[in-house]
């Protein structure tokens, strides 16, 4: 189970988005540290949704690299 605060933060920031996450998850591999921020968002969504809808439980540390990637984008890469 994930840290509730991390999951709530992702929802508050609108990082959990609607898209065909089951297909994306089956067909995509992501190195989140170097991934485009859009892939970090998709990865976060697919992990949270999979756990919510009865998929295999993910390692609780899975979201930390995603949060780090989103923070790096916010602090250094986004257009102001």
pLDDT score for 53: 83
What does the pLDDT look like over 65-78, one tens digit per residue? 998 999 999 999 88
What counts of helices (H) and strands (E) characterise the chain? 4, 0
Measured distance CA(28)–CA(24) in Å, rounded: 6
pTM listed for this prediction:
0.83
What does the pLDDT look like over 11-67, one tens digit per residue? 888 889 999 999 998 999 889 988 999 999 999 999 889 888 877 667 767 888 998
pLDDT score for 78: 86
């Amino acid at each position: 189970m994930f840290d509730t605060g991390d999951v709530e933060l992702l929802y508050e920031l609108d990082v959990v988005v609607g898209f065909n996450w089951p297909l994306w998850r089956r067909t995509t591999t992501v190195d989140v540290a170097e991934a485009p921020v859009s892939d970090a968002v998709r990865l976060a969504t697919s992990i949270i949704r999979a756990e919510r809808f009865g998929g295999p439980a993910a390692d609780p540390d899975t979201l930390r690299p995603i949060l780090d990637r989103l923070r790096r984008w916010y602090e250094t890469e986004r257009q102001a």
